[in-house]
Amino acid sequence: MTEVRTCRVARTHNGPPGSANGGYACGMVARAAADVVGPAAVVQLHAALPLDTELTVHAHRGRALVRHGDELVATVSAAKHGQRAVAPFVSVAAARRASASFAGAVAHPFPECLVCGTARTDSAALHLTPGGVDGLPGVVACIWTPDDPDPDTVWAALDCPGGWTLDQTGSPHVLGRMSAHVRAVPPSGKPTIVVARRIATVGRTARVVSALFGPDGTEFGRAEATWVRLTGSSDPAPRKKERLPS
């Protein structure tokens, strides 16, 4: 990429109020930077990406810098190694049961979120409701039936479930860093299974992994992400590293 490119996140594709859904935005800028960093990208978010606003993407020393005016909002780099941990496959029935315990149905910090918002009724929304899977600590799952999906939407679907492996109602977290590998875009109108797993927490940050499967176990994509607890949340930041069973 030698020229400066531009992209923008549609107003309908928000996460927290007034800003882009993190996973969708990461997918969009990773795709814009693919000829610089390759097909396996990691996106570091430095600030919330604005909606319906032109962003510039240009190469810099083997990376791509994403700016909103003069502000650096994201950096896209090549993913250097394969994902060390993966989210487990669960059945359609297990994912449907998990959805019934979606914590966001009771209290949601961002009810207008494109992916998991409970207040969304429009066709752009994904309507994901990830809840805890019986017998798998730190794992959530749900069903997603995509409507004309694209790779950026797959990044979005792989994003929010990871956040719901954390306490989003008492201590909201937002996406800070994400890498994803989309093997294939799932077919429109067919149910898929989104699974996310919490790997570790250190202070205000948490590492999670997620994956998107077909009912037969075919993997459409996987992701690894770091989530950051917002300052001002009620609970103190833990000092010890937490690891869940493999």
Determine the residue type at 103: A
Q: How far apart are CA 65 and CA 51, in angstroms?
A: 18
Contact 213, 60 (CB under 8 A): no
Tokens of 35: 């000829």
> How far, in whole angstroms, is CA 227 from its chain's centroid?
9
H and E: helices and strands count for the chain: 4, 12
Overall average pLDDT of the 125-152 stretch: 97
Q: How far apart are CA 244 and CA 154, in angstroms?
A: 26
Per-residue model confidence (pLDDT) at position 170: 86
In terms of residues, how long is the chain?
246
DSSP for residue 87: P
Overall average pLDDT of the 164-191 stretch: 95
Determine the residue type at 93: A
Check pLDDT > 70 for residue 14: yes
Per-residue model confidence (pLDDT) at position 127: 97
Per-residue model confidence (pLDDT) at position 2: 54
pLDDT in tens, 64-117: 999 999 999 999 999 887 667 899 999 999 999 999 999 999 999 999 999 999
Q: How far apart are CA 198 and CA 164, in angstroms?
A: 9
Tokens of 156: 């979005």
In order of 187, 223, 224, 242, the CA distances from 146 in angstroms are: 7, 18, 21, 34
Overall average pLDDT of the 19-30 stretch: 97
Tokens of 3: 């020229």
Q: How far apart are CA 125 and CA 13, in angstroms?
A: 8
pLDDT in tens, 202-246: 999 999 999 999 999 999 999 999 999 997 644 433 333 333 333
Check pLDDT > 50 for residue 181: yes
Q: How far apart are CA 155 and CA 203, in angstroms?
A: 26
Give residues with Cβ within 8 angstroms of 107, minimum separation 6: 169
* pLDDT, mean over the chain: 91
Per-residue model confidence (pLDDT) at position 82: 66
pTM check: above 0.85: yes
